[in-house]
Amino acid sequence: MQKIDTATAPKAIGPYSQAIAHNGFLFVSGQLPLDPATGNISGETSAEQARQCLDNLRAIAEAAGADMSKVVKTTVLLADLAAFAAVNDVYAGYFSDPFPARACYQVAALPKGALVEIEAVIALE
């Protein structure tokens, strides 16, 4: 296993890694909409926060030598499922066909009061 850590994405806020590369895959921890420079939430709407989550995800992918075209699976966590369409609009700008497999859930709460969190599995080969 190889730990992936980059200053271009937010530091982990708990006892976990930004990502772990293992057996040809990169397992990216849930990315909150945190500005890497300040550690603060970036964006007030779910769409704005989704953009920051995906920018963070892309930064980690690039640190591991991959890109967004190699994402095979994501999980999107929303504080309010009513934001599903708005988040989809942002999400579609980061991926192209074939789109990653995905699950999307509404959750009771997210760390730091975030509205969105996104995790991913990325192929490295």
| Residues catalogued as catalytic | 104
* End-to-end Cα spacing for the chain: 15
* Entry field: residues in the chain: 125
Can you tell me the distance from the alpha carbon of 57 to that of 9, in angstroms, rounded to the nearest whole number?
Answer: 8
DSSP secondary structure string, 50-73? HHHHHHHHHHHHHHTT--GGGEEE
**What tokens were used for 77?**
């966590």
